[in-house]
């Protein structure tokens, strides 16, 4: 089962994903994409680390996310990816459109082929004002396109608002056809 968890900053996305992963007595792999570029980000990363169970396996992968997902997914395992917009930022920093397209394709392929439970966490950035600079507009557009592509591939999509999950796309019932 693939689950896409979207929401604004501090909407409860990561906590919700962690809650989903903690529901069963199964192995959990956390793939993190953040890099500590400054003290504030280092503090955020430390807070996430502190609340995760010690027995969860953690893989740091700022660029080759598709490959990391392919390595981690397995039947009976929960894999959390946190977060796609930070991963997209890392790709933008490389300033190489070919790498961006290659890694986006690898991500979509890995999601489509994943086994077990895959929980993708991402910031929805398209609900605010239109950015004043071209780079920020391009990032917003790329994130929106990525979210649409992944929502089609995922069995379930959840929108987090004030710590509350709102189901946007529910898993298809067994025997029912998916759109």
Active site residues: 48
If you compute the radius of gyration of the chain from its CA atoms, what whole number of angstroms results? 16
Contact 84, 146 (CB under 8 A): yes
CB of 20 within 8 A of CB of 78? yes
CA distance 93 to 124: 19
Tell me whether residue 37 is exposed, middle or buried, using C-beta atoms within 10 angstroms of its C-beta: 0 to 12, 13 to 18, 19 or more.
exposed
Cβ proximity of 90 and 62 under 8 Å: yes
Q: Which of 31, 12, 49 is nearest to 110 (CA)?
A: 31
């Amino acid at each position: 089962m693939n689950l896409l968890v979207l929401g604004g900053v501090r909407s409860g996305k990561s906590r919700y994903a962690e809650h989903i992963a903690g529901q069963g007595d199964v192995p959990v792999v956390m793939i993190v994409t953040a890099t500590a570029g400054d003290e504030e980000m280092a503090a955020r990363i430390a807070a996430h680390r502190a609340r995760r169970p010690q027995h969860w396996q953690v893989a740091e992968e700022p660029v080759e996310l598709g490959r990391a997902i392919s390595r981690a997914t397995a039947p009976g395992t929960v894999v959390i990816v946190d977060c796609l917009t930070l991963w997209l930022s890392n790709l933008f920093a490389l300033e190489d459109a070919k790498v961006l397209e290659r890694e986006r394709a690898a991500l979509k392929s890995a999601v489509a082929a994943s086994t077990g439970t895959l929980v993708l966490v991402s910031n929805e950035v398209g609900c605010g004002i239109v950015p004043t600079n071209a780079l920020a507009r391009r990032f917003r557009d790329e994130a929106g396109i990525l979210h649409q592509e992944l929502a089609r591939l995922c069995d379930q999509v959840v929108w987090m608002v004030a710590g509350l999950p709102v189901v946007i796309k529910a898993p298809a019932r067994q025997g029912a056809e998916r759109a």
